Amino acid sequence: MNCYECKKRIKDFLNDSLNSKTCIEFIDHVRSCKDCMEELSIEFLVNEGLKRLDTATSFDLERELNDKINQSYQKARFYKNFAFICSIVVFLAAFLLGLFLSTLFSY
């Protein structure tokens, strides 16, 4: 993912609306690109800051953004692995069904 694509997806990331593959690419990019990380921090600050203007609680946005990045990354990896395992299970099931049907009709 390049910087242009990354910056386009900042809002989607903050809304949790990226799919797992894009999410992983996005996080890999911001972790290695100071520029995009800065952009993400600013967007996050504006987003979260506005939401919490009324509540006078103090918040550590930098830590929260890091938490969000780590959690999103783990979640995306989990779903990606899960999808992979599912496709293997489906493939095996289809294979076994095919085997079963071929024994049924081979007599």
Q: Which of 10, 20, 11 is nearest to 72 (CA)?
A: 20
Smaller CB separation from Zn ion, 36 or 76 = 36
Q: How far is the CB of 1 from Zn ion (least distance, A)?
A: 8
Smaller CB separation from Zn ion, 6 or 14 = 6
Q: For 10-18, which contacts have Cβ atoms below 8 Å and span 24 or more sequence positions?
A: 10/36, 10/39, 10/40, 10/43, 11/43, 13/40, 13/72, 14/43, 14/44, 14/47, 16/72, 18/72, 18/76
Q: How far is the CB of 89 from Zn ion (least distance, A)?
A: 37
Smaller CB separation from Zn ion, 29 or 68 = 29
Q: How far is the CB of 33 from Zn ion (least distance, A)?
A: 3
Residue 22 tokens, joined: 């894009």
Q: How far is the CB of 38 from Zn ion (least distance, A)?
A: 9
Smaller CB separation from Zn ion, 33 or 61 = 33
* Residues near Zn ion, by CB under 5 A: 3, 6, 33, 35-36
